[in-house]
Amino acid sequence: MRRDSHGRHSPWLLAVAAFLLLAGCATAPLPTGVGSASGGGSREGNAEAAGTTAPAGAARSIAVVPAQFVPEVGIVAPSHAAASAAAKGAALGAAQGALTGMQFLVAGPAGVVAAIGTALAFSAIGAMAGASSVPPDTRIGPPLPGDATPGLREQMVASVIADIGRFTPYGAAVVQGIGPRFRDDSPDYRPLAAKGYGDVVEVAATQVGLVGQGGADPMFTLVVTARARRIDTATGVTMASRGLVYQSPRYARDEWLREQGVLMRTVMSRAQATLAGRIVDDLVLHAEFATDPDTERLPSLCGLAPLDPKPDWRRDPVYERELAQARVASVTPTLAWEARPSTAWPYDGVPWERATDLRYDLRIWSAEDHIPGALVYERVGVASTTHTVEIALAPRASYFWSVRLRYTLDGEPQATRWSAASRPAFRFVVPMGDALFHAPVSGGASSAPTCALSSLSPCACLDFIPAPNYLWFRTP
């Protein structure tokens, strides 16, 4: 059965707040191999704590600065009865997770991360199980803050650095201990200019929680929100800021519980990687961003239009209108796409006659029950508009795919959006309020307009591609 990634047929929403109390394990260390420039102490109102200079040899160096505040665990809370049940379930889940995670501690620092992740997963699953016992007509209440989500922001920062290294000519390193201490904090990063950093990309994970529908067989989705800014170290001016939201497909409770919470860890990893990629796309690669269009008035596709397999549309009883599944002739299909975005796309203001160094990035994901699975194939910097897959895909299997163009314009690296269908429109399972925004600087000021409900599309405001908006094909 198809799992509804939209949540649009959920008349009763049940939000789960997961509390995690892990003494002495406030954050996880950065993964091995990730550059770090840490001052080794607390920040005193400016960037003087950063003691390491920028990486040498890059066209420009970017300091990636993680926020010092921890994300709230829980997007919204239901009634007091549900919140109480969720908290009780979280406590039991955390205890079970802590016991399960002890087996990882012998593996050193990496094992500590695994132990924390296990406890987090069991805590959230316990909260979910407790809250699901509440009748489905429970009313939704105000946000319920929780404790830290260990490792989430560190993983997101590591992914931002990795994407900057893979997709731009810039160098990047973590600068610890100088980021914002609370959500509206604005540190002074100008001292980093003397250390060789031209820009700061500030990254904050703000909320994470499971949200779902109550009843005998509840379905739950993971929601993660984040904020990011790009700041010019020479002037201290914010050049652009983003509020980002990721919503996973929905899964039944038993699926979240299966194999000691492996699905929770997998989906959490996908969420942070997706948001990190979006941060780099928008703040570093300047991908076009349409915040105000009515989805129904957009062209059918955004980014690079596929040529082979050629897209086709169908009527769908759930999603109204979506891409039909294309057929390819081989398990090593040749995929083809347009060289540039369609002239029908109204937000493309690129003077293409000045664009140079055109190259393409291609991704293919497994597709099971019409939801994205693992990334099974990726090629970066493809020189032509066709590519023959170099490994054999599974026979009689479904796959999602997407492609984008990267190029240089007036010396700056840029990129298009990843190709996707603009329809059907998307709906979040709970209102996101001001969590989703895009704020480019205009006249020296950076406002934070929220994205309109009519613009919730991967071709507009969304930071991820929902399952019905992917290009997809089936092998013979």
Alpha helices in 60-184 (DSSP H): 80-101, 109-131, 152-167
The more confident residue out of 386 and 77 is: 386
Give the model's pLDDT for residue 472.
93
Pull the structure tokens for residue 427. 């709906």
Report residue 51's pLDDT band, with 50, 70 and 90 as the boundaries.
Answer: very low
Domain boundaries, the chain: 14-283, 295-425+447-474
Residue in 300, 320, 312, 311 with CA at minimum distance from that of residue 422 = 300
Mean of the pLDDT values across residues 136-147? 33
Neighbouring-strand partners of residue 242: 228, 438
Residue in 268, 319, 295, 316 with CA at minimum distance from that of residue 4 = 319
Give the 3-state secondary structure of residue 85.
helix
Residue 233 has pLDDT above 80, yes or no: yes
- Are 202 and 179 spatial neighbours (Cβ–Cβ below 8 Å)? yes
User: Which of the given ranges, 11-20, 430-439, 464-473, has the highest pLDDT on average?
Assistant: 464-473
CATH assignment of 295-425+447-474? 2.60.40.10
Cα 311 vs. chain centroid, distance in angstroms? 26
Give the model's pLDDT for residue 448.
55
* Listed range (43-47, 50-54, 270-274) with the worst mean pLDDT: 43-47
* Listed range (114-128, 345-359, 368-382) with the worst mean pLDDT: 114-128
The more confident residue out of 243 and 11 is: 243
Residue 235 has pLDDT above 50, yes or no: yes
Q: Is 444 left (phi over 0), alpha (psi -120 to 50) or beta?
A: left
Give the model's pLDDT for residue 136.
38
pTM of the model: 0.78
User: Which of the given ranges, 186-200, 212-226, 278-292, 416-430, has the highest pLDDT on average?
Assistant: 186-200
The more confident residue out of 138 and 225 is: 225
Give the model's pLDDT for residue 287.
86
Give the model's pLDDT for residue 326.
92
Mean of the pLDDT values across residues 447-468? 77
Report residue 463's pLDDT band, with 50, 70 and 90 as the boundaries.
Answer: very high
- 105 vs 116: CA distance, rounded Å: 10
Report residue 143's pLDDT band, with 50, 70 and 90 as the boundaries.
Answer: very low
* Listed range (114-128, 190-204, 242-256) with the worst mean pLDDT: 114-128
Give the 3-state secondary structure of residue 131.
helix
Mean of the pLDDT values across residues 155-160? 95
Residue 76 has pLDDT above 80, yes or no: no
- Are 295 and 423 spatial neighbours (Cβ–Cβ below 8 Å)? yes
